Structure 1
Amino acid sequence: MNFISPSKGRLSFNQMFRDLLAFINEHPDDTYKMIVGTDSQERQDVYYVTAVVILREGKGGRFYYAKEKQKGQLSMKQRIFLEAARSLEVASRLAAKFMAVGKTDFNIEIHLDVGQQGRTKEIIREVVGMVTGSGFDARIKPDSYGATKVADKFTK
Structure 2
Amino acid sequence: MDFNTFFNTIESKMSFEIVMERLKQFIGIAPKHHYVLSIGTDSQVHKNETRFVTAIHLHRVGKGAWGCVHSYIIPRAIHNVREKISYETMLSQEVAYLFVSKRLGELIELLVPYKRDGADLTFQIHLDIGQKGTTKEFIQEMTAKIAAMGIEPIIKPEAYAAFSYANRYTK
Could you tell me the TM-score, scaled by structure 2's length? 0.85
1:107 to 122, 130, 138: 122
1:28 to 2:31 alignment: yes
2:63 to 50, 59, 62: 59
1:5 to 2:8 alignment: yes
1:77 to 2:82 alignment: yes
- CA offsets 1:21-48 (integer angstroms, 9 cap, x no match): 1111121121111011000111221110
Alpha-carbon deviation of 1:134?
1.1
Alpha-carbon deviation of 1:6?
1.5
Larger radius of gyration: 2
Residue number in structure 1 paired with 2:148: 133
CA contact (8 A) 1:95 1:108 kept: no
Residue number in structure 1 paired with 2:167: 152
Residue 110 of structure 1 aligns to a residue whose secondary structure is strand
1:18 to 15, 18, 21: 21
Change (3 A) 1:66 1:102: closer
| Structure 2 Cα separation of the partners of residues 73 and 85 of structure 1 | 18
Residue number in structure 1 paired with 2:44: 41
Residue 130 of structure 1 aligns to a residue whose secondary structure is helix
Residue number in structure 1 paired with 2:139: 124
- CA offsets 1:65-114 (integer angstroms, 9 cap, x no match): 11110122332101101101111111121232122x37277431111111
Could you tell me the TM-score, scaled by structure 1's length? 0.93
| Structure 2 Cα separation of the partners of residues 131 and 112 of structure 1 | 9
CA contact (8 A) 1:98 1:106 kept: no
1:93 to 2:98 alignment: yes
1:68 to 2:87 alignment: no
The farther-off stretch of 7-16 and 45-54 is: 7-16
CA contact (8 A) 2:52 2:170 kept: yes
5+ residue gaps, structure 2: 110-119
